[in-house]
Amino acid sequence: MLSYRHAFHAGNHADVLKHFLLVELLHYLNQKDKPYWYIDTHAGAGLYALTEGYAARNAEFESGVARLWQAPDLPAPLARYVDAVRAFNPAGQLAFYPGSPLVAQHVMRDSDKLRLFELHPTDGKLLADNVATLGRQAQWQQADGFAGIKAVLPPPPRRALTLIDPPYEDKADYRRVVQAMEEALRRFATGSYAIWYPCLQREEARALPQQLKKLPAKGWLQAELYVQGPSSDGFGMHGSGMFIVNPPYTLHATLAEVLPYLLGRLGQDGGARFVLEQHST
């Protein structure tokens, strides 16, 4: 399905959780000199205008990143994320929001590489324009990211973070996420993987984390942020989650500090809460 456009949701609470964690995962990889690859299965357009076009229609960023923009008491990990967003707003006003590829590139070093996939033809063209200045550091393909990662795993440096975040408009995406992870772990068991998913009342969404916990991985971490209680009609996304396979050992402590803060800043009603679980073998 090619109807989904992330621009409608740029900078919302789900982007805050996803991109904050992306910054933390890459920041951890930067601690070793050896280069790594960042692989993005659903890269989107790369950069989104917030003051006009799709993002301005519902202005979801106002209940997301905008609530952190001027916060004076950000925990250090969240400040790193907000600094990444500020890098694309040099005038000091929140006018643009970077997607995952540009957030990642801001944190990465010159020796590290980006491998990006985007199937939507319009977003693919925008992505090409937005990463053109990165030269050989970034390569992108207009392709199905689920299939594309087979060609890039394992990466030559044997270090990588792979972000898997499909729109889930097609119910088959839930199944394909699990299949892609099973294949990825067969090819590159020691890689780090970050899977984003929506928190919905539909059966497939509730089942996905439980299926991911059964993967043959040495360890995992699950973080969910619910900004409100589920709606009475059963529709709508009331939170989102990130499932990290082979997480850094420091990540649980970071999330234990940051999730309560995000709950206080982004929570919208009494149903707001967070989940934090981890497991290692």
How much is the pLDDT for 4?
56
Active site residue ranges: 165
pLDDT of 61 > 90? The answer is: yes
* Domain spans, the chain: 6-280
Amino acid 48: pLDDT: 93
Cα distance between residue 247 and residue 98, in whole Å: 24
Q: What is the pLDDT of residue 58?
A: 85
Question: pLDDT tens digits for 212-224?
Answer: 999 999 999 999 9
Q: Are strands 219-226 and 239-245 parallel, antiparallel or unpaired?
A: antiparallel
pLDDT (average), residues 114-128? 91
Per-residue pLDDT tens over the stretch 149-206: 999 999 999 999 999 999 998 999 999 999 999 999 999 999 999 999 999 999 999 9
* Cα separation, 101 vs 36, whole angstroms: 14
pLDDT tens digits for range 80-119? 999 999 999 999 999 999 999 999 999 999 999 999 999 9
The predicted structure's pLDDT at residue 5: 60
| CATH number, domain 6-280 | 3.40.50.150
What pLDDT does 16 receive? 98
Distance (Å) of CA 277 to CA 8, 164, 218, 241, 267: 30, 19, 15, 11, 20
Local structure of residue 63 (DSSP, 8 states): G
pLDDT average, residue stretch 117-127: 89
pLDDT at 235: 75
pLDDT digits (tens, 9 = 90+) for 137-147: 999 999 999 99
CA pair distance 257, 17, nearest whole angstrom = 13
Q: Kindly report the pTM of this predicted structure.
A: 0.95
